Structure 1
């Protein structure tokens, strides 16, 4: 998946989003999304790389728990046939929930 394809998929989720972070002072009120590619997994043999899978993290930030919004995001991922693992944390310093979808594309 190219950056442009990922951005188009993010638009389908219907929330403000940015790559990695919003510029200082430009962060929207929650809910919002961030996405980033923290690494890459490769398959290689005989000194050649055959496949490369980019890690893609999609982070949903909300100030209240919102299962319906999570379902909306998960439906977009399923439509694009993207397998994900999901985790959640409460960020005390920001007073926000972060729901993390970890994928490979």
Structure 2
């Protein structure tokens, strides 16, 4: 967990696990991150290597390629292979750029 927190601090945006408490959400841009599952490696009938799935959700009120590039530069600097997707959340009037990756813990 320390590694992902250090990575998020390097991005230099407000962040919270899963969501910000009601009424405490900062103005965009901000990040929410999740650990929605694992893809552990097994050997001899037990977990040999623990691997967590991570989601970093970047929220902005307008498309911001420069900010996306800076997030990606931090991930690249940590040799993290990620996949990226994007969606417009009409009800929130926010873009969500989602970075998904796995990391050994």
Q: Same fold (TM over 0.5)?
A: yes
Q: The residue matched to 1:37 in structure 2 has which SS? A: strand
Partner Cα separation in structure 2 for residue 59 and residue 12 of structure 1? 15
TM-score by length of 2: 0.94
RMSD (CA atoms): 0.9
Structure 2: give runs of 5+ residues left out of the alignment: none
Equivalent residue runs for 1:1-105 within 5 Å = 3-105=1-103
Partner Cα separation in structure 1 for residue 46 and residue 62 of structure 2? 47
Structure 1: give runs of 5+ residues left out of the alignment: none
Q: Any idea what the Cα deviations from partners look like across 1:47-88, whole Å, max 9, x if unmatched?
A: 122222100100000000000000000000001111100000
Ranges of 4+ aligned residues in structure 1 off by more than 2 Å: none
**Which is further off, 13-22 or 68-77?**
13-22
**Which is further off, 12-21 or 43-52?**
43-52
Partner Cα separation in structure 2 for residue 46 and residue 17 of structure 1? 38
